[in-house]
Amino acid sequence: MAKKTITAVTAELLDGFLAENGYELYNCEFVKEGRDWFLRVYIDRADGDGYIGTEDCEKVSRYLSGKLDAEDPIDQNYYLEVSSPGMDRPLLRPEHYERYVGQEVEIKLYKGKDGTKKIEGVLQAFESDGEGDWRVTVTDHNDKVWDLRLAEIAKASLAVVI
């Protein structure tokens, strides 16, 4: 079974259970590292309030493990990992950017822009440019406003502010 299909099947198996228990699927990946395969499921609170704890991960892991055993959609051996996306969670999809407007972010660019490849600041806006591309606006700690195309961003995550 293809990797994309495994993550889609996993999302379908979790859909109702997560909603009933106040969780949402933040991300899911099926990756090979060395000789081992990992099905990684990242969950968050649906209302965005509070943190995901160990007991939340155990609850989802037990449910999903039972469903995967019953359905058996994965041919090879794999390890199942369920966790929170973390405080420094990656921003992977448009809805992640939209959710965290107003928050501190760290952005790494594919190519340098104005002498830097790393921008830290407040995510001010995330919007479509009307031509099929997404624009990300960040104000850095020197009050410089960065207008970036989503395609320029190699990696974006929430910044951990202490």
Asked if residue 82 has pLDDT above 70, the reply is yes
Q: Are residues 79 and 104 both part of a single domain?
A: no
Q: pLDDT tens digits for 35-70?
A: 999 999 999 999 878 889 999 999 999 999 999 999
Q: pLDDT tens digits for 90-142?
A: 999 999 999 999 999 999 999 999 999 999 999 999 998 888 789 999 999 99
Helices (H), the chain: 3-20, 54-71, 94-99
Residue with tokens 């959609």: 73
What is the reported pLDDT for 130?
80
Highest mean pLDDT among 3-7, 47-51, 118-122, 157-161: 118-122
Asked if residue 4 has pLDDT above 70, the reply is no
For residue 79, the domain's CATH number is 3.30.300.70
Q: In this structure, is residue 152 part of a structural domain?
A: yes
Which of 55, 83, 111 is the last residue before a domain boundary? 83
Q: Are residues 70 and 110 both part of a single domain?
A: no
Single-letter code of the amino acid located at 133 = D
Which of 50, 83, 116 is the last residue before a domain boundary? 83
- Determine if the pTM surpasses 0.85: yes
Domain extent for 63: 3-83
Q: Are residues 112 and 57 both part of a single domain?
A: no
Q: What are phi and psi of 39, to 5 degrees?
A: -100, 110
38: nearest Cα among 62, 70, 7, 69: 7
What is the reported pLDDT for 83?
97
For residue 102, the domain's CATH number is 2.30.30.100
Q: In this structure, is residue 88 part of a structural domain?
A: no
Q: In this structure, is residue 56 part of a structural domain?
A: yes
Cα-based distances in Å from 96 to 26, 60, 72, 101, 123: 9, 21, 31, 9, 11
Asked if residue 161 has pLDDT above 60, the reply is yes
Give the integer Cα–Cα distance in Å for 161 and 24.
24
The total number of structural domains in the chain stands at: 2
